[in-house]
Structure 1
Amino acid sequence: MKQKEQIGVAVIGYGYWGPNLARNVQDSRETELLYVCDLSEDLHQLVRKRHPHSKATKSMDEVLGDEKVDAVLLATPPHTHYELALRALRAGKNVMVEKPLAETSAEGQKMLAEARAQDLILMVDHTFPYTGAVRKMKTLTKSGELGELSYYDSVRINLGLFQRDVNVLWDLAVHDLAILDHLTEFRPTAVSATGLAHIHDYPVNTAYLTLFYEEKFIAHIHCSWMAPVKIRRTLLGGSKKMIVYDDLEPSEKIKLYDKGITLSPTLEEKHDMRVGYRKSDILSPKVDESEALSVLIQEFTDSIKTGSKPLTDDTSGLRVVKILEAADESMRRKGAPVDIIF
């Protein structure tokens, strides 16, 4: 447990996501941005302009050798997560890894074991559970307002960006898997996935993933880099009420529908159930507008200081990786269900 006024932080990688992490670390009263580490000299000039009190460096060894650095944030390609996280943990640094935790569950398990051995925090930057919208969804599900959860249905599509090192499920569906892991206590027992790579030498760019559970609950996720429009829409259905979550809505991201079905037997045959439909109000509850990354950084620093388990800890990150591994296997088998053991 680290008890001090500010947590010394180094951000590793200053490409796409690193600048967002560095900005939030710099803005937080709980953290001090000591280093930004990247191999690009051009990016160093940008770091010096945006973060004049932080040091730009190419040397990971310099970062890990500085005792003032308490935590390392990895914003590097997925294939580097395992090696860099292990190096940081063995150097006595708490680690937050950009999604996904690792490329394989075997790597993820070794990372978890090292974090436990060093008594350090290993956390995954699954950002969506820290958004005001998803936190509101959690409040509504936990309170029982939705009733028994029935299904989760998500469309997460856009044109690009094509990735070289991960397919579209690892890039986009990973967000929904993190949301599901946070919203419910359910754990999938099997998955079925289909997908196609339309571009030579690139991974699967359009995919459909279905998750099966022991409970009367099912989840379906559609992801694509080949869509002409950007859509980020999720439906969460319950026996009492239903949620529509549209992440692209500027203000009313969550709509709560007081709609559903009712079942009643006929007088002639008790087993012949008639389906009725119930319609009532649509509400748009207020959600916290705090930036998700700011909330995430606060969660990370609190965990370092108190030793508490972060919301998106390494075990939740490992569960997500196991689901994605099973999805890859299912796609290789043209959609055949693949069991998951957590």
Structure 2
Amino acid sequence: MKPRIAVLGCGYWGSNHIRTLKGLGALHAVSDANRARAEGFASEQGCLAIDPDALFEREDIDGIVMALPPQFHADLAIRAVEAGKDVLVEKPIALTVADGERAVEAARRNRRVFMVGHVLRYHPAFEKLKELIDAGELGDVKYIHSHRLGLGKFHTENDALWDLAPHDLSMILAITGVAPVEVRGEGAALLDHLSDFAHVHLRFPNGVRGHLFASRLNPYRERRLTVVGTKAMAVLDDVEPWQRKLALYRHAVWQDSGQWAFTTNEPTYVDIEQGMPLTRELEHFLHCMETRAEPRTGGEEAITVLRILTAGTVVHV
């Protein structure tokens, strides 16, 4: 019998969780402060609509997916794990490191699964990129940079950095395997008091350097992660079609008689298995619930991301 999951928060991303869990045969209930919205999804998907205040004590619910404005995540996650529910909390799991630590510690204390929705860690192209890195195909990784740009969405509580960068930080942390020792950030609020773009520079103890650029006020869409190694470079471009999402560049750079020289090569496009990252993420959550395994994107990673976001938050109005 599959775990019985309730989705708390029936907004844009919560609706994706609802439909995906229905397809996986694990959707049991939906819940939202807007009762009419929850009832609409319940009717559409053939599940229960439960008021948020009644959700946590229901014995017929094994886990809760939380897709709420981030200022509500920590307290409700604590309430859920203390009621014996496993949780998948969308990013960011809180707006302060202290609140994130409270939620993760509560899950640990109550022996509950705590997973964060860093969905791109479950992207087949990223999984393949990580496989190539671990196999030494890129040599020693020296530099990672990511661009996540577009127009919108605009939130009232979290800015471009906190809304967009967790995806890229999660992937960068998976590649480096360690937390950064230095974080420098710069952002600007162009519309109101929340930054609309942000640059974050990272230095890691193993010598790797990283940089990310996130913007919600950009005329074109870009979703690109680049990894530079001593043997090759790789680019994950999620805007490209599947057959071109992951490119491997076997460029060469060397010194000859004290002068630098280089050669360039056409990219090789890596075959990857097609699949929806959200489906794979939720399958992993169900697997962790059933086996009590530690999630690939667990609480400690979520806190590390919060620490980087906090350190990188510098806004010029």
TM-score, length-scaled by structure 1: 0.89
Would the aligned equivalents of 1:154 and 1:222 in 2 still touch at CA under 8 Å?
yes
| Residue from 14, 18, 37 that aligns with 2:31 | 37
Alignment of 1:250 onto 2:244: no
Q: 1:199-223, CA deviations, whole angstroms, 9 ceiling, x for partnerless residues?
A: 13x4010111111122231111111
What's 2:305 paired with?
320
Offset from partner CA, 1:316-341 (integer Å, 9 cap, x none): 1111011101112xx16x7xxxxxxx
Q: Which amino acid aligns with 2:40?
A: L
Q: Does 1:195 align with 2:190?
A: no
User: What stretches of structure 1 of length at least 5 have no aligned partner?
Assistant: 267-272, 335-342
Distance in structure 2 (CA, Å) of the matches to 1:44 and 1:105: 31
User: Displacement of 1:42 after TM fit?
Assistant: 3.5
1:10 aligned partner:
6
Give the root-mean-square deviation of aligned CA atoms.
1.4
Q: Which has the larger radius of gyration?
A: 1
Alignment-derived partner of residue 47 in structure 1: 41
- Which of residues 49, 53, 62 is equivalent to 1:56? 49
Offset from partner CA, 1:150-182 (integer Å, 9 cap, x none): 111111111112221111110111111011122
CA distance in 1 between counterparts of 2:137 and 2:263 reads 16
**Matched position secondary structure for 2:280:** helix
> Offset at 1:96?
0.6
Report the equivalent of 1:179: 171
Counterpart position of 1:280: 265
TM-score by length of 2: 0.95
Q: State the Cα distance separating 1:276 from its structure 2 match.
A: 1.7
SS of 1:192's partner is: strand
SS at match of 2:251: strand
Distance 2:252 2:159 in 1: 36
What percent of counterpart residues are identical?
A: 30
Contact kept in structure 2, 1:137 and 1:183, CA below 8 Å: no
Listed one character per residue, the Cα deviations across residues 195-249 of structure 1 (whole Å, up to 9, x for unaligned) are 110113x401011111112223111111111111111122111100101111111
Deviation, 1:184, is 2.3
8 Å contact kept, 1:35–1:63: no
Partner of 1:137: 129
1:300-311 alignment runs, 5 A limit: 300-311=285-296
Separation in 2, partners of 1:261, 1:167: 39
Q: State whether structure 2 residue 22 is matched by structure 1 residue 26.
A: yes
Q: Give the drift of 1:85.
A: 0.3
Q: Describe the SS at the equivalent of 2:180.
A: coil
User: What whole-Å deviation, never above 9, does each CA across 1:57-95 have from its counterpart, x for those lacking one?
Assistant: 3x2232212112110000000000011101101111001
Partner of 2:196: 205
Q: Partners of 1:224 and 1:253 in 2: how far apart?
A: 21
SS at match of 1:102: coil
2:106 equivalent to 1:114: yes
**Corresponding residue for 1:164?**
156
Contact 2:75 2:103 in 1 (8 A): no
CA 1:104–1:193 in structure 2 vs 1: closer, same or farther (change >3 Å)?
same
Aligned residue runs from structure 1 range 208-219, under 5 A? 208-219=199-210
Amino acid at match of 1:14: C
Amino acid at match of 2:61: V
Query: 1:48 & 1:297 partners in 2: Cα distance?
Result: 19
Deviates more, 1:248-257 or 1:33-42: 33-42
Residue 296 of structure 1 corresponds to 281
Is the contact between residue 88 and residue 116 of structure 2 (CA under 8 Å) also seen in structure 1?
Answer: yes
> Are the aligned partners of 1:12 and 1:74 in contact in 2 as well (CA < 8 Å)?
yes
Residue 244 of structure 2 is aligned to residue 241 of structure 1: no
SS at match of 2:250: strand
Deviation at 1:126, TM superposition (A): 0.5
Q: What amino acid does structure 2 have at the position aligned with 1:20?
A: N
For the residue of structure 2 that corresponds to 1:137, the secondary structure is helix
Whole-angstrom distance in 2 between the partners of 1:193 and 1:243: 25
How far apart, CA to CA, are the structure 2 residues paired with 1:148 and 1:186?
15
Q: Distance in 2 between matches of 1:204 and 1:170?
A: 9
**157-166 vs 90-99, greater mean Cα deviation:** 157-166
Q: Which residue does 1:338 correspond to in 2?
A: none
Q: d(CA) in 1 for partners of 2:36 and 2:67?
A: 17
* Separation of aligned partners in 2, 1:288 and 1:97: 26
